[in-house]
Structure 1
């Protein structure tokens, strides 16, 4: 078999492992909460610890890979990710788990940064690369499709720890293929690493997410939250200044003068910060509100995931025939419409109230994933493909991390307001109790929270908490749909076909 196919297999297996881990974790969260005594905030950090370290380091990982060798970096990423997965499985408490998730993000950063570059170096632009990206997109579809089922089955039968143990043999197989079959490549012009940019960006992003996650508990006007927001703003501004002045920036701002480059980053951010970030809250609805088991929740995700799987290869074929901006626009409109269709959940609804939205959103995800992957590396010179892939993955992961934090803040804030409104004039509406009830309903610990209340107040508190949960969920689904539709408009406006390399390499 030709080397390019081995490369595509190795990249696809690694991508499968990364995305499987994300989708598998989704349905295991309530079980993790019960076993480790995790709070609602802890559950947010299970995702954000991973996404933050990945987002903060993926650009540096791309630069290091271009300099030290992409195959070597890819192998190192596999080792770190698999080792951290083992630590996650052995976690005795939420802090240990979330620190291990952050280490996973380091390994994930390296693999994400290098994956598309490895594919791009083996497959020439045009129809051949489009087909490869179709396979890559199908891999994403498979991981998303089977992830909830595997996660649910493992969690129900063996325990949530096995969702992390699973990564160890998969990582070992990918590592073997990497060393035996992949070719090494570098950017001959790669130079110094922009460490100052790394520190400013990662610290600023961490402070931003921390402020969003803690805002409801601490008070949005408190000195701590205002200080965190101010620190994040200063550090991110410093990051921009650094990138404008250093000779070899981790994020070359000049690339954003190319409209197609900017457009594809905004498209990646839009889908990640909307639907992908909201999967966390949809899972909490399916399991903690409707009372489904992890496996049953995974089954309910099949409509969105299976449709994404079948649409992705078709999108790969269409890449060389249909303008990328049109595919991005249609896909993001479908994702946005899907969330708008989901966002009117009523107390008497079953999971089928989400079904139409799942189908429409799944088709949109399947359409845009291969397009984003292809355009991200096709709007820059081939030798900068590692950096381009890193920038695109940064926008994806920043979208997920910030999206989870923003939606969590709005979700809890809106739900708290609803509880206070419904329980006005009773002790339930006083102090921090409304917020605590919403967080308990979200994390699956509502029975324990109700047990701490006087017997006569429990029924009213349960009704108010469940109503507040739905109010918050419907609002974030609505706003997530709006974000996706705005992304569709920006992609249609910015992405231009004449800025994308579509020429077949001859000879």
Structure 2
């Protein structure tokens, strides 16, 4: 059966949005059930971190390779395979009966999700080539992605309340089947005529670098950074980063084209992409733990409270896109990052008052979500629009890799900061305790929500305050870097134009 061009536009956009919905739900609904997993599966704080980080690390491992494979063998073909695998691995997550199986299944699910995500951006960029059509398509994509993110917390909490945590994962199977049908019906195949080779060495070295550094931050915080295992993981990360840079600069057909970093619009937007994952997204993992363990809300109450943090990501992206078209991305992206940082400062203030509640955090949560909504779509549209359309797979691969690498590292880093902040408070409460190992183990247990004595809730709130300060500073520092790159590009352009 043949479809018209307009019908294929609808099917393509619907398929991509369905995949975006699943990806968005998987990010925001799973953190909402972490306290439940801690109780049902007896998960430790490290287990909870790896349940989330196995997914993000796996995404990072495949992103650049999938961008190349999609460019070479067909974006539609790779998109279909990724949907099938995402549905299967979601079933595996839902059937897991212990932490080890769940973490392994999340790793496999993350690989499928990374492939699915990279194809979404590449398929949209190829199908909608004009600036106006692309802007509308990415706005719709951002809205649906925001729907998954915005309603994910309450959906996850609601599923746990009426059924069980397993269905937070199992629900993706029928959605994946529906999305697969839409891809078959409406997406046209597209490839990169250059047919680049798969950079196995580059993919392996990048994956080992992210895994090594994430392991160093996560396990080192629990067992000590000077242990043999921690030092070995750090060494692996350093060597792998060096090998990755060397292979990409000297390789005949590298997956990471460093030359695109000389495009100011691309680089400025790339910093903005990373900045969101130094602040907003990794804190999504820990905010449910704060509401439930520090403020004492139920799972449903936590899901409702999180809506203030996530719903702005649903309603603001169209505004961000319109502002970018009117005032340019180099203005909107730094402004969005500034708003995220301001939101984190307000959350820090709201968590420090004597009777902290969701009301005292409301303004900060809304402001941080608004900043994310202003930044996200302009960042994606700018990175993919700064290179020729036939290189959209590579560009979107770099964009999403920057996001996922920074997310994976900051999930681990924020967890470390949370434990250190909690530990600092415990030291002041119990000055007579000299066993540092015992005190650190207690801080780990408190961070996971195991509160067994008076004063431990205050210690946990103190730790979350440290994390909020880190998120604010990170957003503002990277805002300055992004703005400086955009400004340099503008000044260079004017300099060229003014030459006689």
Task: Flag whether TM exceeds 0.5 (same fold).
Answer: yes
Structure 2 unmatched runs, 5+: 1-5, 494-500
Corresponding residue of 2:295:
290
Counterpart selection for 2:375 from 352, 368, 371: 368
Corresponding residue of 2:252:
247
Note the C-alpha offset of 1:197.
0.7
Counterpart selection for 2:407 from 385, 400, 404: 400
Equivalent residues of 2:288, 2:306 under 8 A apart:
no
Q: CA RMSD in A?
A: 1.7
Q: Secondary structure at the match of 2:33?
A: helix
What are the within-5 Å matches in structure 2 for residues 183-222 of structure 1?
Answer: 183-222=188-227
User: For 1:318 and 1:262, how far apart are their aligned partners in 2?
Assistant: 20
Note the C-alpha offset of 1:408.
0.9
Q: Secondary structure at the match of 2:355?
A: coil
Moved more, 305-314 or 191-200: 305-314
Counterpart selection for 2:472 from 478, 481, 496: 481
Corresponding residue of 1:173:
178
Note the C-alpha offset of 1:141.
1.6
Q: How many pairs are equivalent? A: 484
User: For 1:481 and 1:323, how far apart are their aligned partners in 2?
Assistant: 24
Corresponding residue of 1:303:
308
Equivalent residues of 2:222, 2:444 under 8 A apart:
no
User: For 2:384 and 2:96, how far apart are their aligned partners in 1?
Assistant: 37
Counterpart selection for 1:315 from 295, 316, 320: 320
Is 1:390–2:397 an aligned residue pair?
Answer: yes
Note the C-alpha offset of 1:303.
2.1
What are the within-5 Å matches in structure 2 for residues 377-456 of structure 1?
Answer: 377-426=384-433, 430-447=435-452
Note the C-alpha offset of 1:352.
1.5
Corresponding residue of 1:39:
44
User: For 1:148 and 1:42, how far apart are their aligned partners in 2?
Assistant: 20
Note the C-alpha offset of 1:36.
1.1
Is 1:471–2:462 an aligned residue pair?
Answer: yes
Q: Deviations over 1:293-321 (max 9, x none)?
A: 22211111222322222211122233322
Q: Call closer, same or farther: CA 1:499–1:202 in 2, change over 3 Å.
A: farther
Corresponding residue of 1:263:
268
Is 1:163–2:207 an aligned residue pair?
Answer: no
User: For 1:124 and 1:431, how far apart are their aligned partners in 2?
Assistant: 59
Equivalent residues of 1:4, 1:119 under 8 A apart:
no
- The normalised TM-score by structure 2 is 0.94
Equivalent residues of 1:51, 1:397 under 8 A apart:
yes
Note the C-alpha offset of 1:143.
1.1
User: For 1:318 and 1:499, how far apart are their aligned partners in 2?
Assistant: 24
Corresponding residue of 1:230:
235
User: For 1:446 and 1:469, how far apart are their aligned partners in 2?
Assistant: 9
Is 1:493–2:500 an aligned residue pair?
Answer: no
Note the C-alpha offset of 1:134.
1.1
Equivalent residues of 2:75, 2:190 under 8 A apart:
yes
User: For 1:58 and 1:212, how far apart are their aligned partners in 2?
Assistant: 22
Q: Secondary structure at the match of 1:77?
A: helix
Q: Secondary structure at the match of 2:129?
A: coil
User: For 2:438 and 2:457, how far apart are their aligned partners in 1?
Assistant: 14
Is 1:75–2:66 an aligned residue pair?
Answer: no
Q: Deviations over 1:356-386 (max 9, x none)?
A: 1011111111111110110121011110001
Runs of 4+ in 1 over 4 A off after TM superposition: 496-500
User: For 2:309 and 2:130, how far apart are their aligned partners in 1?
Assistant: 30
User: For 2:466 and 2:398, how far apart are their aligned partners in 1?
Assistant: 30
Q: Secondary structure at the match of 1:349?
A: coil
- The normalised TM-score by structure 1 is 0.92
Corresponding residue of 1:149:
154
Corresponding residue of 2:497:
none
Q: Secondary structure at the match of 1:273?
A: coil
User: For 2:245 and 2:100, how far apart are their aligned partners in 1?
Assistant: 32
Is 1:339–2:344 an aligned residue pair?
Answer: yes
Q: Secondary structure at the match of 1:100?
A: helix
User: For 1:419 and 1:44, how far apart are their aligned partners in 2?
Assistant: 22
User: For 1:308 and 1:66, how far apart are their aligned partners in 2?
Assistant: 30
Equivalent residues of 2:24, 2:146 under 8 A apart:
no
Note the C-alpha offset of 1:498.
11
Corresponding residue of 1:273:
278
Equivalent residues of 1:244, 1:253 under 8 A apart:
yes
Q: Secondary structure at the match of 1:320?
A: helix
User: For 2:479 and 2:186, how far apart are their aligned partners in 1?
Assistant: 39
Q: Secondary structure at the match of 2:297?
A: coil
User: For 1:61 and 1:316, how far apart are their aligned partners in 2?
Assistant: 27
Structure 1 unmatched runs, 5+: 448-458, 501-507
Q: Call closer, same or farther: CA 1:499–1:149 in 2, change over 3 Å.
A: farther
Moved more, 488-497 or 381-390: 488-497
Equivalent residues of 2:11, 2:185 under 8 A apart:
no
Note the C-alpha offset of 1:499.
11
